[in-house]
């Protein structure tokens, strides 16, 4: 049986339909990023998203298909990779994805977590949000104006903010790839983009992607600001976006995957590598120079998330320096 490993351009419309029906990963919309490839199997609706990197195929999330077909689609993908002389590395797997990979013999380790806020009864009132309210007020007193914008009409502003944001991070800083979303392209109309301006100059933005599944809503994705922004600008933009989302009836706001956070033995699976567990925990404890996990978690914690979702990486054939390097190179995570 011939198994296609990529969709033709005219088949891309089916990707969104599959995500809407089957995706339960808060970051699933990132599967639509440019440069991703898609594995499909005859007779099975849905797909697996991946990117080739050397002798590895880096799989994003689990199989986006109905529950009865998940194991079959994942098995077919593994077999197809092996016939092609490749190994699979799965990233940003949810618990159900991780359990499936473990059942198929892959080494699976928790590498971090994602966080979500239940918006149905959300409010910034109360003592615990005093600091956050003060930061937002400070930004608004500086003259901040926030609006939802068309990405095509503010492309130059976004490019300027991105360039200065990267320069501030240092000449060796690279942008994450694969594990974050993007602005523009075929699916931009499905995202939301909020920009903050002072005196008519764009100084910051936050991009949100739709989330499907058991906790539907929006994913707080790309966020950038100019280095000399007043304090509280990002918080003010997100608060404005939350008000808008609640008006639309969105139940959840997700803050996405943060590597090296909320690690816990209770989250591990039987096929976890002890060596990998030690390495991940070492980075979590001492590796903020490698990846700014704690600063990311501090921002997300300000909103008092109501759901913590452990996330996993899976390694076909066990964890090796080469497989780890494939993940690092494919995602720019360090």
| Residue 295 pLDDT | 85
| Residue 94 pLDDT | 98
Q: Work out the end-to-end distance of the chain between its first and last CA atoms, rounded to an integer number of angstroms.
A: 40
Q: Which domains does the chain have, with CATH numbers?
A: 9-113+258-288+309-331 (3.40.630), 117-256 (3.40.630.30)
| Residue 288 pLDDT | 66
- Check whether 118 has a pLDDT greater than 90: yes
| Residue 292 pLDDT | 73
Bridge-based pairing of strands 144-148 and 307-315 is unpaired
DSSP string, 171-213: TT-----SSS--SSSTTGGGSEEEEEEETTEEEEEEEEEEE-T
Out of 197-206, 254-263, 279-288, 306-315, which region has the weakest mean confidence (pLDDT)?
Answer: 279-288
- Check whether 145 has a pLDDT greater than 80: yes
| Residue 96 falls in which region: left (phi positive, over 0), alpha (psi -120 to 50) or beta | alpha
The whole-model pTM stands at 0.92
Q: Are 81 and 88 in contact (CB under 8 A)?
A: yes
- Check whether 196 has a pLDDT greater than 70: yes
Out of 10-19, 48-57, 139-148, 265-274, which region has the weakest mean confidence (pLDDT)?
Answer: 10-19
Task: Tell me 255's DSSP state.
Answer: E
* Average pLDDT of the chain to the nearest whole number: 91
pLDDT band at 141 (very low <50, low <70, confident <90, very high): very high
Beta bridge partners of 37: 50
- Report d(CA 1, CA 22) in Å as an integer: 25
Out of 6-15, 42-51, 173-182, 219-228, which region has the weakest mean confidence (pLDDT)?
Answer: 6-15
- Residues of the chain with pLDDT > 90, as a percent, come to 77
């Amino acid at each position: 049986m011939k198994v296609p490993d990529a969709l033709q351009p005219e088949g891309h419309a089916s990707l969104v339909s599959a995500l809407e029906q089957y995706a339960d990963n808060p970051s699933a919309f990132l599967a639509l990023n440019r440069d991703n490839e898609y594995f499909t199997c005859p007779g099975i609706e849905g797909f697996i998203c991946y990117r080739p990197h050397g002798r590895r195929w880096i799989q994003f999330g689990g199989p986006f298909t109905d529950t009865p077909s998940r194991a079959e689609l994942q098995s077919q993908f593994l077999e197809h990779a092996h016939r092609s002389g490749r190994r699979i590395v799965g990233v940003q797997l949810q618990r159900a994805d991780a359990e499936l990979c473990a059942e198929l013999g892959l080494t699976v380790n928790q590498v971090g977590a994602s966080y979500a806020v239940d918006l149905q009864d959300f409010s910034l009132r109360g003592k615990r949000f005093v600091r956050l309210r003060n930061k937002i007020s400070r930004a608004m007193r500086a003259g901040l104006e926030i609006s939802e914008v068309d990405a095509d009409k503010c492309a130059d502003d976004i490019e300027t903010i991105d360039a200065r944001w990267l320069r501030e991070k240092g000449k060796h800083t690279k942008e994450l790839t694969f594990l974050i979303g993007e602005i523009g392209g075929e699916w931009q109309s499905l995202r939301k983009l909020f920009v903050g301006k002072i005196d008519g100059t764009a100084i910051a933005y936050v991009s949100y992607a739709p989330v499907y599944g058991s906790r539907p809503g929006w994913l707080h994705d790309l966020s950038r600001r100019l280095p000399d922004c007043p304090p509280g600008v990002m918080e003010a933009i997100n608060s404005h976006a939350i008000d808008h989302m609640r008006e639309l009836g969105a139940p959840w706001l997700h803050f996405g995957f943060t590597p090296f956070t909320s690690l816990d033995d209770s989250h591990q699976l039987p096929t976890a590598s002890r060596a990998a567990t030690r390495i991940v925990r070492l980075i979590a404890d001492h590796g903020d120079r490698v990846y700014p996990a704690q600063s990311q978690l501090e921002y997300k914690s300000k909103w008092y998330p109501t759901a913590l979702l452990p996330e996993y990486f899976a390694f076909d054939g066990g964890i090796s320096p080469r497989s780890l390097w494939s993940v690092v190179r494919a995602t720019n995570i360090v």
